[in-house]
Amino acid sequence: MSTRARRTPFHPLLVFGVLLGIASLSLVAVARDAELGTPVRPHIVITEPSYAYDFSNDQILVGTSEFVFLGQVVEQVSAKGIPTSDPEIEIPLTQFSVRVIEQIKGKLPTEGVVVSQSSGVDKSSGDLILVDGDPLLNPGEIVLFSVNLEPDFGWYQIAAGPYGAIRAKDARESDALVARFQEAEQKQFVPVVDPNFVPVVEPEVSDDATSLTEDQHSEGRDKKDKHSRNDKKAKQDKQQ
Amino acid sequence: MHQRSRRRVDSLSIVLVLQAVALLLMPAAVLASHSSHFLSDDSVQNGHIYYDDNMDRYHSALKYADRQWSAEGSVQIKETPKNKNPTLKVITYAISDNLCGGWVPLSGPDRIQVNRLTIVNNRCGSNAPETVLLHEMGHALRIYDHTSPADVMDVMYKYMIRYDFQGNSWQCPLTLQSHDKHDFHYWWG
């Protein structure tokens, strides 16, 4: 009686054995995946972008894009990133060949069109970066594209993240999208550029930059200073 | 008589239970309304953002943004000292995607990327790149985009230039507004 009462439903050794078994199986599975080269799912990160304009407005989206068309994604053709001011960092982009179905703004060739999406795998971290959560395009998808030509890269860059690549679930939805954007093209809104705007080329950089007032800061933007801090650092490194 | 008082007790207990449920749900609702203002990540480590400045030509704009947010206290934003690792890298690039910039919470140091092409084409407003960096630094401090039309003059408003199609337009301001500051202090104290 007393012996029975002491018995527990799960003997500690039994529990330990089961846990050890599960752990071993997991290790075997991981090792097998590594051996077979099973792709490890990348860590997905979402870029929080600041947009030039409110691209949820079709008139603005069409007015600021060179080409607007309905197309079908054929396949991913490359994942070429673009250089940045840091030689070790690239902005990851992904390129897809697209069959043009219907042109709404601009004249594109019907074949050989490659669009580039501002999302992709970051080489330095291995993370999959999605701009504003916009998932990578998939072959077969019917998409309403708003793009700009990038002659240096030989592709059409999708404008404004997810706003520039609107997926249609079926034929009815793609028809509706075409009608919607044809109307937007008729009423497209092209923002007027401020005539007084002076683009920043190389603003003055000095060690006293932190003590500048806002007005002084704005004035400083018009001045050129060829000795940027990078140059100064490079010179110092050279001297050392 | 006895039945009537019992009914009264029953209805009283229902009211009390409902009040208790409402009280329990209220903090969750308040939390939910505030959490919509915040991202799930930031570039702050032990009260600091240490950034690597690879801004090529926009150094002073980055300093300006760093100064504006640092003035709010609680979080120190500065260039990475020699004995520290960066929590943020700030870079520029150029492509015609009509984005002014972005904050990317990566596995390693996070990244602020500023699009020179959109800025030079004056599509981010006359006060860019300062405004773009102010906005992105706000994301690095966990603050989410403001999207309500009432927030049109906030630094954290999602679009750099806004039109109402009535002939009016607004640009992202050069200084933090009360809603921007409120969000910062709500999270960072």
How does pLDDT run across A97-118, given as a tens digit for each residue? 999 999 999 999 978 899 999 9
Q: Give how far B98 is from chain A: nearest CA, Å.
A: 5
Interface of A with B in 192-221 (CB under 8 A): 193-194, 196-197, 199-205, 209-210, 212, 214, 217, 220-221
Chain A residues inside the 8 Å CB shell of B64: 217
For residue A47, which of A187, A185, A149, A161 has the smallest C-alpha distance? A161
B61 with A48: Cβ contact below 8 A? no
Measured between CB atoms, does B35 come within 8 Å of chain A?
Answer: no
A45 with B106: Cβ contact below 8 A? yes
Flag the least confident range among A113-117, A146-150, A178-182, B123-127: B123-127
Pair B69, B184: CB distance under 8 Å: yes
**Average pLDDT rounded to a whole number, residues A189-193:** 82
The interface pTM score, or ipTM, of the predicted complex is: 0.81
* Residue A148 confidence (pLDDT): 97
The pairing of beta strand A113-117 with beta strand A82-83: unpaired
Handedness of CA B127, B129, B133, B135 (dihedral sign): positive
Chain A residues inside the 8 Å CB shell of B175: 214
Report the C-alpha gap between A129 and A133 in whole angstroms.
Answer: 8
Residue A21 has pLDDT above 60, yes or no: yes
A229 with B53: Cβ contact below 8 A? yes
What mean pLDDT, rounded, does chain A reach?
A: 78
* Residue A62 confidence (pLDDT): 97
Q: Is A161 exposed, middle or buried (0-12, 13-18, 19+ CB in 10 A)?
A: buried
Between A37 and A89, the more confident residue is A89
Q: Give how far A211 is from chain B: nearest CA, Å.
A: 10
**Which residue intervals of B36-98 are DSSP H helices?**
59-70
* Residue B168 confidence (pLDDT): 83
Q: Which chain A residue has its CA at the smallest distance from B115's CA?
A: A84
Flag the least confident range among A20-29, A65-74, A169-178: A20-29
User: Phi/psi at B161 (nearest 5 deg)?
Assistant: -120, 135
- pLDDT by 10s per residue, chain B, length 189: 455 666 666 766 776 777 766 556 555 554 454 556 799 899 999 999 999 998 877 889 999 999 999 999 999 999 999 999 999 999 999 999 999 999 999 999 999 999 999 999 889 998 899 999 999 999 999 999 998 888 888 999 999 998 888 878 888 999 999 999 999 999 999
Q: Which chain A residue has its CA at the smallest distance from B147's CA?
A: A54
Residue A15 has pLDDT above 50, yes or no: yes
Interface of A with B in 83-122 (CB under 8 A): 83-86, 89, 91, 93, 118, 122
Residue A223 has pLDDT above 60, yes or no: no
pTM of the model: 0.75
User: Phi/psi at B170 (nearest 5 deg)?
Assistant: -130, 150
